[in-house]
């Protein structure tokens, strides 16, 4: 039973670690990101990404500098911020 529980916990962590999106900021300046589960740019998880860096974020919707339109970030895909907008790589 302990072995089964350990395997299930390991699978849970492996699955959650794979659920991410690569987001690269190609701009020279830092951008504020609003990450959420819907396409509004009103509330959600606030974070930032420095210029010329790459970060892994959770799949969902993202707004750059609290501006619409929100962009849907899909699991396993890569995106870039270019001129203040998110585009698929």
Residue 13 lies in a domain: no
Residues of the chain where predicted confidence (pLDDT) is lower than 50: 4-6, 8-9, 11, 13-16
Other beta carbons less than 10 A from residue 63's beta carbon? 21
Residue 50 lies in a domain: yes
> Residue 87: what pLDDT?
97
Residue 41 lies in a domain: yes
Residue 33 lies in a domain: yes
**φ/ψ bin of 28: left (φ > 0), alpha (ψ from -120 to 50), beta (otherwise):** alpha
> Residue 61: what pLDDT?
97
Q: What is the pTM of this model?
A: 0.76
Other beta carbons less than 10 A from residue 33's beta carbon? 22
> Residue 19: what pLDDT?
81
Domain of residue 28, residue span = 20-88
Number of domains in the chain: 1
Rounded Cα distance, 25 and 78, in Å:
11
Residue 70 lies in a domain: yes
């Amino acid at each position: 039973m302990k072995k089964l529980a350990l395997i299930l916990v390991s699978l849970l962590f492996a699955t959650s670690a794979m659920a991410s999106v690569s987001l690269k900021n190609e701009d020279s300046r830092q951008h504020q990101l609003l990450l959420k589960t819907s396409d509004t740019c009103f509330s959600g998880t606030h974070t930032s990404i420095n210029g010329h860096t790459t970060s892994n974020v959770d799949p969902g919707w993202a707004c750059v500098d609290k501006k619409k339109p929100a962009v849907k970030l899909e699991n396993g895909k890569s995106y870039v911020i270019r001129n203040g907008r998110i585009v698929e790589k």
